[in-house]
Each structure stands twice: as structure tokens, then as C-alpha cells.
Structure 1
Amino acid sequence: MHTDREACYRAVKSRDRRFDGVFVTAVHTTGIYCRPSCPARTPGFANVSFFPTAAAAQAAGFRACKRCLPDATPGSPDWDVRADVAGRAMRLTADGVVDREGVPGLAARLGYSARQLGRILTAELGAGPLALARARRAQIARVLIETTDLRLAEVAFAAGFSSVRQFNETLREVYAASPTELRGRRSHTAAAGELRLNLAVRTPFAGRALAAFLATRAVPGIEAVGPGWYARSLRLPHGAGTVRLELADAPAHGQVVQVPATFRLTDVRDVSAAVERVRRLLDADCDPVAVDEALSGDRALAPLVRARPGLRVPGHVDGAELAIRGVLGQQVSVAAARTLAARLVESAGEPLPEALRVDGLTHLWPTPGAIAASPMSGMPASRRRAITSLASALAGGDVVLDRGADRADVRRALLAVPGVGPWTAGYVALRALGDPDVFLPTDAGVKAALAALPDADPDAWRPWRSYALLHLWTSLAAPAAETHSQEEMI
């Protein structure tokens, strides 16, 4: 959209919050960039430029507005809709791949040379991978400075900076303030060992429906639920962690609200990765107004959309875990699948450090290698073979389930694993890969829901069929059993 100056300027004049995170507005006369909904006086049309990312505005010499904090918004929903190289690169950069593996590592994951990738991202996003990673580091640093008691040197390395000097220079350039000055804005602090952050989501936000979905499928030991909250353990690049989310409904339209999240980490360098993975779980970059408007065009589905505005597609923090759990649940109820998963956690999971054992969390989900070596006694032989085959493929890198993977390639790789069929491949695309246009016609819950909507037209729900699927599941009186078609176990 940023290439359509007239449309962007109309959004700025109306202070339309729906476009926060979709583009930023750079004001030539002040040298700052803002979110579209910034409450400051609207600049003249001739005095502004529009950029698709904060990194592009920073690369052009603009600094972030101190009033509207344009980096404290949900990301663009384009990154989930798009399955191209730029979208995949954005998702991996947000996960901290550039900080951990450098630009060559990012390029290798995407199948390009570093030079090719730089050209693609600059053309598409206005900034190369280093600039995108730098903007992400600055954002994480600002949040940690303003919300935690970490020493500034700890903040620097937790945010991914390679030196304190680089940290200081970047924050002065991006925010026109030193780290010490930013700390003066701090509004609250967390208890020892905790990081309390707020994760931005657009409204409407059906937090209670999301919590109910996760609670129905929560596996004891790695997940826990309570009134209005959900917690789980996290396997992160540098160690273990946990997160507790407070989930409530936010019915207002077109605004941004904050979901409180409390993290406990064994290594603060994992802050960026932990935040990004939990944002995936929340489907935090979704534009619910656009989705609901599109789905309401089908008269059969419209009542379901009106009943649950802002319904999210629950993502996942670990694609490998989701895939294994999908196979565990083949041809059984959700409750039975939870029982099988809990047994696997108990027999092959990794115990959490004592400092992280809060809210009833005791383990990390087993690694693919540990699952492949597990005897999985008491399980049907066909399912055991399927899980072993999938775990081996995940451990060997034949199947890669991060947000940077090509969705078509992942589907082909999953279907090549014995015992994995179209339902499981689609379910993985839905929750692990963030594909917004997945439909599962063989699912028992979907069939039951569609039977009550004889005039529904699933083809009319493109490109948001994943959200329609969640409306169908949540419309049932009881949670959908998610029973697979019989072909899954062949």
C-alpha cells in the first residue's frame, strides 16, 4: 500500500489505526517517522513520504516519533499473507536469525546468496536484512529499558547488539534519546527473574476464544491454564523459558491493545525469539477488521463472524511440536490426544530448571531426536511408525517447520512422510506456518459445522479460509474432535 501515496495520506488524515504497522509516515520538515494514527497535526502532502517498514525510514535518515512510538504496533498482516521471499525473510528476522546466524545464515535458509537477498529486500521493503534486524533490535531494547530492571549492558546483549557502543549509538539515532533517558520513561518493573512485556494486537481481539482453544488442547507439564490466563514452556535458541499470557476480549474496532506477557528465561539473549514466537501464538499481526469484513460477505457465515468478532487462528511456538502432536491426535479425540502427548512428555521430555517451574510447568516438549528414540509403548504400531518417521525427518532437516519455510515445499515434505496425510499437512500449515488460507474439508468438526450451514460457500472465504475454519470449529456446542480422515493412517 505504501506505493499509493494518495491512499496512505487518506489513512493518515483520518488517523486510521487499522494501518498502524502496515506502513510508516516520514515527515521531511521534522525528520521523524510516525504511525498513521499519530495524534500530531497532519503534515502537508508534499512534506511526507511513506515507507513499508520502520527500518526503511531509519535507513533514509528519519527517527521514531516519541509521541506515537511507531515501533510499538503490531506488524503488518502482509507478512503472514505473503509467502514470498520478502515475507519469509521478515518472519525469520523477527525471530532473531540475523542476530544468531548473520545475513549469510538468513540467506542460506531462504536458498539465496546474501547479495541476492539484499537486493530483493531492498526492492520490496526499502531496507536490507541488516537494517531490518537493526530496527528489530532497537525496538526490543526500548521495551526492555522501559519495562525491566535489567542493567543497560544486559539489555544491549539481550536485544542482540554485539557491543554496548553499537547499542548506545543505535538508540540515539533511532529514538533521539540515550538509553538512560529512555529508562526515565519506565512505567513499571517486574519481579526478580521475570520480564513483563506487553504484546500489541489489533482489535477486535477474541482473547477468551483463543484461551478456550488453547485450554482444550493443553498438555500437562508443558502447558497450564487458569481463569483468563495460559502458560507454557518454551524451547529457545540459547536455553529454556516460560511465558504466561493474560487473555481477555477487546471488542473495540480498529484500535491496538496490549496483551500482558510474563517471561522467565534462562538466557536473556532469547528475549527477541521468545517474544516473536509468542506473537505467532497470538496471531498478533492479524488485521481482524479486514478479515471479518471479508468473511461477513458470505451470508451463511456472517452470523458466526458477528458472534465472535476478532477471532484469531491460534499459532504455535514450535512447529516440530505441533506436527508431532497432530500425528498423535490422528483418529482420536482431543482429550485422547492430550493423554498421549502427556505420556510422551513424561517419558522423553526435558525437565525445566527449578527457577522456571511456575504455574505447574515442569518440562520442555521432547526434541525430535528424543522422540525418534522413544519406544512410545502403549501406542498403536501404525501411529508409532508415523511419529518415528516424522521425528526422524524433523531431526534430519528433511522437514523444516519455521516461519521462513516455503509453504508448498513443507507440504510436499510432510506428505512424503509415511502416515502423514493431507489433514496433518494442512493443520501444520494453519498453526505452525501461519497460512491464512487453509481449509480442512475432511475434518469431522468442519463437516458437522457445515451441515448446519448448507448455503455456505468455502471458496468465497479466500484468502481467509483459516479464520473461517476457526469460526466453524468454535460454532460447535462442544470442542471439535479434529478427527482425521481415514487416509491419514494408511
Structure 2
Amino acid sequence: MPGTVRRWRPGYPLDLGRTLFPLRRGPADPSFHAGADGAYWRASRTPGGVGTLRIAAQAGEIEARAWGAGADWLLEALPRLLGAEDDPAALVVPPGPLRDAQRGHPGVRLARTGLVMESLVPAILEQKVTTLEAYRAWRTLLRDFGTPAPGPQPGLRAAPSARDWATIPSWEWHRAGVDPKRSATVVRAARIAPRMEEAGAFGHAEAFARLTAVPGVGPWTAAETLQRAAGDPDAVSVGDFHLPNLVGWALAGRPRSDDAQMLELLEPYRPQRHRLCRLIGLTGARAPRHGPRLSPEDHRGR
């Protein structure tokens, strides 16, 4: 297993699995692999080209190996990816389950990939459908239009280039189960990919404005993108099917909440609202279930 190697000691507790988990789009994501040996593999399309990154932790040290044209970029960005620019202590919570979860998971950081399109496209695919449908579409599109990743991990694939996203035929989107509204949004974003990538370096408000200027990219999609690409601690997924109930239950004991009620509860924690939502997930809190479930739709038969 050659590749280019970088060894890095974080200097802070790091839960590698939970930090990287939001970057994985389902258990069969072709761009992400969790090895039986505890190593994590990612295939990315970087400014330097396609690259593969293998990350493993041992005795407080990170060993990263990278392959391909994007190897140097991925290794340079490693600390940022693993939360070196993140500040978990910026979120102050009252005594109780939230503080217990915070103390019990000191190694959970907000990852920052620095790659906007890598997170924007799958977020668009996840709009208004079940996660099962979205993961299947992502898997299909990467299999058929992605790039085989360099290095020794079989089956790993990087997402298509912006040009390739923009030229996927309509029938291929249909075959992947993606309706015309979502596919058109991906194409619009791909055609101005350089402007999308710039948003990863912007501040919170400016980044949201840049992404949501694309028709079809709303607050939920922008938040899901910036949480991963920019490690934005305040990017709240407004419009999420489950999050308002989760937040309402955890912070107010209310089994059902809407977006407005959720944002009211989260307001005292600005600009750490997304971090708080992640922390709530770590408490294991779950709102009581009742009401209709979102059912998968088959766009391929239309």
C-alpha cells in the first residue's frame, strides 16, 4: 500500500468515525468506504484532480495516505477535514443531557471538506425524497458517470466533474430515479460550479446567499451543503422532515414542532445552532413517533 503518506497528531480528542460520518451518503456510497481495520477511505474530485484518501487513527496519531492527482491537495487539507479549524467549546449548554453528551463525546468535530459541489449534488438529490431513494440515485450516478478512484481500494469512485454532471442525458436521470426538478437543479449548479465552490470560503450569510441564488437550492439544501463543505456550526437544516420534532422534544419536551418553533428554540444558541443539533443527536433523544411516514416514490416509471 504505497501512496503519499502524512502523519499528523491532532492535539485534541478526535472521534474519527463520528467526525467523518456525515460525509457518507448511505452504507453503499461509492465515494466512501469504512474498512474492517478501522480505516476510512474517501474519493474526491479536488482542484488538483481526482484523489483517494485513506485515514486511520492509532495512539493519538492520524496516518493518512493519498493517491492520484489530488493526493497533495487532500493531504494538505487533512487537518481542516478533521476539525482542526473547529471549536466545539464555542457551544455552551446548560447542565443536563446536553452537557452530558458534550462531555461524553469530546472527539466529535465538524468536518470541513472545502469541496462544495461534492456536498451540494447529493444534498439536491435528497430533496423531498426518502434517504433510501436519494442514496440509490447517488450510487447509480456515481457508478455510471463517476471516475474510478486511484489507489488500492476496489470499487471506490469519485463524483462526476461539473461538466459531466451538466451533460448527463435526461433518460439517465430518470433511470436513476431522479425527477426533472432535481436533475435541473444539479445541472444549473454544475454550470456555475466555480461560483459554487467559492461559497465554501465565505461567511455564513454570504455563503447561503450564493448557494440559494441557484433556482431549486433552498435553505435546507444550502445548510446540508455548508455543514460539510465549510464546517458551518450555524447552518440549520430548515425544512427537514425530522429535525424540528427532534429539537422540540429535546429542548422543550414537545412531541411535534414546526420550523418556526424549532428556530425559536435554537435562537439562544446562535451561531452554534447546527452544532447543537448534532449534539442533540448524540443524546439519543427521539420524539415520540406518530403520524404518516414519508413513502418512497418511483420516478422511473413516469
For the pair 1:222 / 2:222, whether they are aligned, the reply is no
Q: How many residues align?
A: 271
Corresponding residue for residue 410 of structure 1 = 207
For the pair 1:372 / 2:146, whether they are aligned, the reply is no
Counterpart of 2:232 in 1: which secondary structure? coil
In the TM superposition, residue 402 of structure 1 has moved relative to its aligned partner by: 5.6
Corresponding residue for residue 302 of structure 1 = 99
For the pair 1:458 / 2:266, whether they are aligned, the reply is yes
Which residues in structure 2 correspond to 1:108-257 (within 5 Å)? 193-215=2-24, 217=26, 220-227=29-36, 228-247=38-57, 257=60
Corresponding residue for residue 85 of structure 2 = 285
In the TM superposition, residue 298 of structure 1 has moved relative to its aligned partner by: 6.1
For the pair 1:469 / 2:269, whether they are aligned, the reply is no
Deviations 1:239-260 (A, max 9, x none): 3321111257x8xxxxxx4222
Compute the RMSD of aligned alpha carbons: 3.0
Structure 1: where are the runs of 5+ without partners?
Answer: 1-190, 251-256, 485-490
Corresponding residue for residue 257 of structure 2 = none
Counterpart of 1:423 in 2: which secondary structure? helix
In the TM superposition, residue 311 of structure 1 has moved relative to its aligned partner by: 1.7
Counterpart of 2:197 in 1: which secondary structure? coil
**1:433 alignment partner, one of 222, 225, 230:** 230
Q: Distance in 1 between matches of 2:24 and 2:206?
A: 31
Check conservation: 2:200, 2:226, Cα contact below 8 A. Answer: no
**1:345 alignment partner, one of 136, 142, 145:** 142
Check conservation: 2:19, 2:108, Cα contact below 8 A. Answer: yes
- The higher relative CO (CA closer than 8 Å, separation ≥ 6) is in 2
* Percent identical: 23
Which residues in structure 2 correspond to 1:321-360 (within 5 Å)? 321-352=118-149, 356-360=150-154
For the pair 1:261 / 2:64, whether they are aligned, the reply is yes
Check conservation: 1:437, 1:466, Cα contact below 8 A. Answer: yes
In the TM superposition, residue 350 of structure 1 has moved relative to its aligned partner by: 2.3
Counterpart of 1:454 in 2: which secondary structure? helix
Counterpart of 1:400 in 2: which secondary structure? helix
In the TM superposition, residue 472 of structure 1 has moved relative to its aligned partner by: 2.6
Check conservation: 2:15, 2:108, Cα contact below 8 A. Answer: yes
For the pair 1:381 / 2:180, whether they are aligned, the reply is yes
Greater Rg, structure 1 or structure 2?
1
In the TM superposition, residue 432 of structure 1 has moved relative to its aligned partner by: 1.1
Corresponding residue for residue 75 of structure 2 = 275
Check conservation: 1:247, 1:259, Cα contact below 8 A. Answer: yes
Check conservation: 2:166, 2:187, Cα contact below 8 A. Answer: yes
TM-score if structure 1 supplies the norm length? 0.49
Assess, with a 3 A threshold, how the Cα gap between structure 1 residues 477 and 218 changes in structure 2: closer, same or farther: farther
Corresponding residue for residue 363 of structure 1 = 157
Assess, with a 3 A threshold, how the Cα gap between structure 1 residues 400 and 472 changes in structure 2: closer, same or farther: same
Check conservation: 2:67, 2:151, Cα contact below 8 A. Answer: no
The residue identity in structure 2 corresponding to 1:416 is A
Q: Distance in 2 between matches of 1:216 and 1:274?
A: 19
Q: Distance in 1 between matches of 2:267 and 2:12?
A: 26
The residue identity in structure 2 corresponding to 1:241 is G
Assess, with a 3 A threshold, how the Cα gap between structure 1 residues 265 and 399 changes in structure 2: closer, same or farther: closer
Assess, with a 3 A threshold, how the Cα gap between structure 1 residues 200 and 469 changes in structure 2: closer, same or farther: farther
The residue identity in structure 2 corresponding to 1:404 is A
Q: Distance in 2 between matches of 1:276 and 1:461?
A: 32
TM-score if structure 2 supplies the norm length? 0.77
The residue identity in structure 2 corresponding to 1:408 is A
Q: Distance in 2 between matches of 1:441 and 1:200?
A: 36
Structure 2: where are the runs of 5+ without partners?
Answer: 254-264, 287-292, 295-302
Deviations 1:149-171 (A, max 9, x none): xxxxxxxxxxxxxxxxxxxxxxx
Counterpart of 2:77 in 1: which secondary structure? helix
In the TM superposition, residue 383 of structure 1 has moved relative to its aligned partner by: 1.4
Q: Distance in 2 between matches of 1:377 and 1:409?
A: 33
Counterpart of 2:128 in 1: which secondary structure? coil
